[in-house]
Amino acid sequence: MAINKAIDYKLKVKPSYMRLIHSSAYEGPCRLGEEEQLTTEFDEKIGAEKYKMFKETLDKVYNKKYIEFLPSELITWTDQFILKNEELKKITDAVGKADLFLFDGVFHQFPAMEISENFKVPVGVIGCCASTDAVAGLRNIGLESYGYIDAEDANRQLKYMQVKHALKHTRALVILKNDIVSKGVLSTVTNLQNVTRDLGVKFTFINAEDLFDAMKAYTPEQKQEAEKTAKDILDSSEKSDMSLEDIEKSTKFFVVIKSLLEKYECNAFTMPCFEVCATRKFNDEFQCTPCLTHTLLKEMGIPSACESDINALLAMTVLMYLTRKAPHMGNTHPLANEIKLNESSPAGLESVPEIEGKDNIMSTWHAVQTRKMHGIDSPMDKFSIKAFTHSGWGATLRHDFSKDIGETITLVRFHPNGKEMLVVKGEIVAGAGENTTGCSTGIYYSVKNSKEFFKQMLNFGHHYTWVYGDYIEELKDLGDVLGLKIVTL
């Protein structure tokens, strides 16, 4: 059994091309031309010609990595302006199979309207002027519909639909200890029923004791996998302060969590570090921290957030599905250099010379960076292995972020109400903490206005998920599709 990764979900699209056949050759306010091009025969042939081009466009323009087209249909209607059942049936057969019905052609707002009104399925309409006409009409009566300028625009926007449906196929495994709200993350999303209703993300909770039992039930096969994973990590690292045996204690936890994800048919993960830490199981028995597991799951395309932060987990899920990059997440705080207080020195992340005297500097840090931050399908970034604890256990992977100075990044966090996302663009000005213990590895970066960012953080919270690149505009568009309010600086 394997984990069914939602990031790989393919959007099922039913494409249809609508042609209009006039019953005879006539000119008037709706059509004009030479007699030969007003004939029924011309309409039939030009319809077939354009349908062929439509199919070629489906092949050439659309990204099949995330779109799966169901068989396309040529729908015909006449100047009686009635869509006959026989024609409509060509597309209604796909109800229940397609995530979106895509229309192009002539007067194609009408089949879109018919199928949307009758079956309440999402429709996408391409081109002038059916897209704006249909979507404005359908949205006015509360029906889900999308308009696209042309095929290129449709291809771009179908990625957002893929993210929307990938979210619907996401089920997070949450380890429960004491309270649903971890004590370090009061700003988490607490109304999970709303999250499931609005975004489709589902949650499965298991008690921490079930996790401890699973660790005890470690099988020879799991041990073999943990050994191999540990060896692969050690062999590909640039440096390590840990032995293979110590790293294997952390990969054991990763393998057990993977088996729990499989068992509960989940494909996202979070757990309350503080509360589970307080059981002393990590210290006395497992000799690991969850950090490496978060890192390795994210590298596989499985969202995995620290500290039972559902809010960060949702932000990570959205960002990961949109970008196919394995994000970092961490505590975030401004340096407040503008105010020049003694307390302006960084908390949690070592100070570095590059930030001295600079304004609008933010910091984000946690020991959960990944080697796939430039893309899950890209080559691995360079990294080292560092123990989380002073006692020398708890493998974490560390990246020297100072090598990424000047790179643009995008940070995201959900609002505790689950209905808004704060998205912020920054530029890395320094890396720090590669050789320190604990959570303290991360970045300093400049933003447009750190005071404004902090004001928004007071509404959104402290853990931010980030990836390389500028995704602000994409996230704004995605927000429209997901029904989320997007807040920017």
Partner 1 sequence: MDNKIFETILKRKKEKTKLVKTLSQCSLGDAECLINGFEKYISNRFLISIEDLKKERNIIELAKIAISKSENLGLDNINYKDVKDCSGTTSSMTRKILLIIAIEKDFNIKFTDKESSEIETIEDLVKVFSLKRSNDVV
**Interface positions with partner 1 (CB under 8 A):** 20, 33, 36-37, 39, 41-42, 44-52, 105-106, 127
Smaller CB separation from partner 1, 36 or 284? 36
Interstrand relation of 268-270 and 304-305 (parallel, antiparallel or unpaired): parallel
Min CB(56)–partner 1 separation in Å = 10
Which amino acid would we find at residue 267? N
Six-digit token pair at 253? 């936890």
Min CB(41)–partner 1 separation in Å = 6
Residue 30: how many other CB atoms lie within 10 Å: 9
Smaller CB separation from partner 1, 39 or 449? 39
Best CA proximity match to 481, nearest among 143, 84, 144: 144
Min CB(40)–partner 1 separation in Å = 11
Q: What is the DSSP string of 377-400?
A: TSPPPP-EEEESSTTS-SEEEE--
SS3 171: strand
Best CA proximity match to 12, nearest among 131, 89, 101, 144: 101
Six-digit token pair at 404? 């990424």
Min CB(49)–partner 1 separation in Å = 5
Residues 171, 203 contacting (CB under 8 angstroms)? yes
Tell me: cis bond preceding 288? Omega within 30 of 0 counts: no
Min CB(159)–partner 1 separation in Å = 24
Min CB(31)–partner 1 separation in Å = 8
Min CB(33)–partner 1 separation in Å = 8
Q: What is the DSSP string of 262-310?
A: HHTT--EEE--HHHHHTTTHIIIII---THHHHHHHHHTT--EEGGG-H
Compute CA 213 distance to the chain's CA centroid, rounded to the nearest angstrom. 31
User: Which H or E run includes 254?
Assistant: helix 244-263
Smaller CB separation from partner 1, 48 or 186? 48
Min CB(34)–partner 1 separation in Å = 8
Give dist(CA 386, CA 437) in Å, integer: 7
Smaller CB separation from partner 1, 104 or 404? 104
Smaller CB separation from partner 1, 39 or 191? 39
Give dist(CA 426, CA 470) in Å, integer: 9
Give dist(CA 397, CA 297) in Å, integer: 13
Min CB(59)–partner 1 separation in Å = 15
Smaller CB separation from partner 1, 38 or 352? 38
Smaller CB separation from partner 1, 41 or 359? 41
Smaller CB separation from partner 1, 49 or 480? 49
SS3 43: helix
Smaller CB separation from partner 1, 48 or 141? 48
Give dist(CA 463, CA 273) in Å, integer: 14
Give dist(CA 11, CA 50) in Å, integer: 24
Smaller CB separation from partner 1, 135 or 387? 135
Q: What angle separates helix 192-199 from helix 310-323, to the nearest 10 degrees?
A: 20
Min CB(26)–partner 1 separation in Å = 15
